[in-house]
Structure 1
Amino acid sequence: MNLTIKEFSKRTGLPPSKLRFYDKKRLLVPFVRLENGYRAYSFDQIYQAKMIDSLRQAGISIQDIKLYFTVNDQEKKKILDRWKEDLNKRTEVLLAAQKYIGGINLENPQQTLLLSNWETEKFFVWQRVYSERKPNPFQKHFITAKSQLEKLGVTCSEQVYVKTETITEDKIIGEIGFEVLNNSLTGDHKDFRLEKVSPTLFAVLQDCRSEDALLCFSYIQVIIRYGFRPVGSKLERYSNLDASTFDYLIPVVK
């Protein structure tokens, strides 16, 4: 015995319009088509329909659900593990967003902290530099660092990134980096370090100046105020080689 779309809708709790949509997407195809062209479903499809809709409510893509129902149990487990990882990441992003909203101060209209989400992985080439301790210690190395990469045929981002590694009494050691394409740097280059950065959510302090004596204090205050916990190294991002200010990127979810 088969069920009409109306009967199947009552059994599953899914409206006919949704069942037609799943049929159109070839996600849940009716068991048979009657002579009059109407859809007819089997009792065995009731559980599948409910599971498909549950996965959709969990934010799983139609393409992923299709794949799940066509593979063996071993592959299903791999897919489930990937879904769990993706959902954990989304949960962390939502928690960070909740902290961000909770930390907004209406009495401070000049709110400078923002969230920035790198949704895809990025590749950077880094060069270690040494400089005397002073404001903007690495900026004088920006042009040289970029030109060295361009001589190798590497197309660099206009933005410049800085990681500060060590600060001594009279010296600062860090890295200057540029975003590049994955295959831009080939061969063995001891003076360069290629890094792949996974999708990351950053808290961003805008328009910072290195000569600001309270910058470190401001950073600590932001972390406390919003309840963020950094999950990696902070980055300084300059919009171009001559920029006098930078954005402070604080990774909060990876």
Structure 2
Amino acid sequence: MSTLTGRTALVTGGSRGLGAAIALRLAGAGADVAITYVRDEGGAREVVAKIESMGRRGLALRADAADAGDAAGAVDRAADDLGGLDILVNNAGIGVLGPVGELTLADIDRVMAVNVRGVFLASQTAAARLRDGGRIITIGSCMAQRVPGPGGTLYATSKAALIGLNKALARELGGRRITANLVQPGPIDTDMNPADGPFADAQSALTALGRFGSADEVASLVAYLAGDDAAYITGTELSVDGGHAA
């Protein structure tokens, strides 16, 4: 199993849920990890404390992915404070669901700013700051592959855009041995979408395994993609969805 000892990482949206699990998994593999947060400063401090308890450096940066300056600036700040950057995990994202006719221009602008523009700007900045052999790992969604019902037009559009971005990044950065990969989670048990929530049974029924996944199951794939064992994997989509797209 690859280790990440001596490497540095930035996980956007890392104060809770999936982002926190990813940050802790990377730290457990030996990386120094910076995370971004918007409002959950307490959660961010708790994640950093856990990272530091593992003997790694942890850093919490307040940054709103919807703000162009924050999205790019967080990458520079992480690289400066950690002494370089090896891994970027684009995890920050939001979801606005509802009938297509009821979505407002403000809804569209906010979702696209966070889920697409913020990822693009962070990746653009990382392209200049990552060491050769670095990693860009972006968290997408199973809804970019299969939309099982109404109400997901905006969210699915934003996540589908990441497929093209990921492939283009892989081509552009491959000469420096930097890989770019897209992880497509299915229903994952987090505070925002709990496995015992009101819509959980319907979501579980859409998977081949009949259950929600855990944040750790997604984090384990991210850690694998960040390591040396995945050096020949780039420009691809990897599903952690319990068979949602099967």
Higher share of residues assigned helix: 2
Higher share of residues assigned strand: 1
> Of the two, which has the highest radius of gyration?
1
TM-score by length of 1: 0.24
TM-score by length of 2: 0.25
